[in-house]
Every structure is written in structure tokens, then in C-alpha cells.
Amino acid sequence: GTVEFLVDEQDNHYFIEVNPRIQVEHTVTEEVTGIDLVQAQLRVAAGASLPELGINSQLDIKPRGVAIQCRITTEDPALNFQPDTGKLEVYRAPGGMGVRIDGAMDVGSVISPYYDSLLVKLTCHASDFKSATRTLYRGLTEFRVRGVKTN
């Protein structure tokens, strides 16, 4: 889970909330640390210790590069981002170095009104912010989705 705070200019910390579940943004942390957080949680729940996962201290977690995530949703920007439903007529996700897709959509998938409007997550990773944004831009332009409106 996560504990969220705001920090002001005087370095005062203000508690916001505790989320006792893995965050949708966990893929950013996974890309930057190289640690599969879901697998690690399951292994710890099954009795493994952090040292058994190769983590003896915070110093063992070495951030590398920058990751950015975009959520592709079935929401119509022209209708104040109202969720859209329908059948995917065209679906092509981007790929390549530094591009991660989390989702299980394909042509013919039916988008119903009974679930969250998140279609797929696009997470891009590179050595620096500028490169990560270029990869993200490339990934977004390579997406092809028809049959439902997207953000």
C-alpha cells in the first residue's frame, strides 16, 4: 500500500491518506527499480523475507532512469470525459524498447458500462526525463483504438 503526504515550503508534512492496496501507478516504480512489486508482495505473503528477495536494506533498491505512465481510458473528451462503451473494432498497442503495456485488450473486446473506464496503461522508461517523454509520445502516437472513444 501507500501512505500519501503533502509537504509545504517549510518541510511540514501533512497526512492525506493510506491506500492498503497496490497503486495503479506501481508500474512506474517497477520500471525504475527493476522490482516486480506484485510478485514481491505475493512472496512476502507466502512467508519470504525481504533478504530472501535480495533486499537487505533501502540501499539495495537502486533507482535507474525515469518512467512515466499514461492511462488510456474509454472516455469521450467531447462529452466531458463520459465513459464510452462498445466493441473494439481496431486495437493496436505500441511496443519497443522502453514501452510497457498493461492490459488485455484485443479486436473484438467488448467495453461494458459495468467496469472502470481504464482500457490499458502505457508506461515508458528511459535514462532521463526528456528521453522518457519522447518514448511516451511515440507510444501514444502508435496507439490505434477504434470502436470506443478514448482520452
Query: Which residues are the active-site residues?
Result: 21
Helices (H) and strands (E) in the chain, counts: 3, 11
Please count the residues of the chain. 151
118: nearest Cα among 145, 93, 92, 150:
150
Residue 139 CA to residue 109 CA, distance in Å, equals 21
Dihedral of CA atoms 126, 131, 132, 135 in degrees, nearest 10, equals -100
